[in-house]
């Protein structure tokens, strides 16, 4: 049954390596733990490790992807936001820890970190701690719910699940469409909607 634990590890990497609003990695951990009757703590440790690796890889490649679809001004804005996070020292770790403990996706945080090219030391340690705490609670509660429920998918469309996705989308939109330099330097909220890189006209023959 060792391959089932490997599946947990690989599945959490795949989920957290993408910037898309997929279900949280702990949902897959809960499902696989229930389906294969796996020990809880190995599932948690492997799941958190997989999530950390996935987010680490995301923070590396997202800058290249963003550079292809976002204009230079928006890239500069996000880099500026990331630099402000990186210069707060312990506060950045506490911010990451608090963010990870919330029942929302950490994708916007790592998109910002990746585009700003922050060193992993500013994000990953606190992410691992917060992820371990939040995923442990989720998996243990999930096992309890499954043991006392007819269906493991009963909460798939619950208000809490839908709210988590909506919060993720709002945070992602905030990262993309708020002018963060004006927000942080001048405390002025301003949006910039036209952030996409314009395609260059083809060369005339």
- pLDDT, mean of each 10-residue run, the chain (205 residues): 91 88 82 90 95 89 76 70 67 77 72 78 85 88 68 57 71 72 67 65 47
SS3 at position 196: strand
User: For the purposes of burial, counting CB atoms within 10 Å of the CB of 54, is it exposed (0-12), middle (13-18) or buried (19 or more)?
Assistant: buried
Q: What is the pLDDT of residue 163?
A: 73
Number of H helices, E strands in the chain: 9, 0
The Cα–Cα gap between 127 and 129 comes to 6
The Cα–Cα gap between 118 and 109 comes to 11
Q: What is the pLDDT of residue 152?
A: 47
The Cα–Cα gap between 185 and 189 comes to 11
């Amino acid at each position: 049954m060792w391959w089932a634990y490997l599946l947990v590890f690989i599945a959490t990497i795949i989920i957290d390596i993408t910037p898309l609003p997929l279900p949280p990695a702990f949902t897959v951990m809960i499902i696989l733990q229930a389906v294969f009757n796996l020990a809880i703590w190995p599932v948690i440790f492997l799941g958190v490790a997989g999530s950390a690796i996935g987010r680490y890889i995301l923070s590396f490649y997202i800058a290249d992807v963003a550079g292809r679809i976002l204009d230079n001004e928006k890239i500069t804005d996000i880099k500026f936001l990331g630099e402000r996070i990186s210069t707060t020292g312990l506060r950045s770790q506490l911010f990451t820890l608090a963010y990870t403990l919330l029942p929302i996706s950490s994708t916007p945080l790592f998109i910002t970190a990746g585009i700003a090219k922050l060193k992993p030391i500013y994000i990953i340690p606190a992410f691992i701690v917060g992820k371990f705490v939040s995923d442990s609670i989720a998996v243990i509660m999930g096992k309890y719910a499954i043991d006392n429920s007819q269906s493991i998918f009963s909460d798939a469309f619950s208000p809490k699940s839908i709210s988590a996705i909506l919060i993720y989308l709002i945070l992602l939109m905030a990262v993309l469409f708020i002018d963060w330099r004006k927000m942080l330097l001048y405390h002025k909220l301003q949006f910039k909607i036209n952030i996409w890189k314009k395609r260059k006209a083809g060369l005339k023959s």
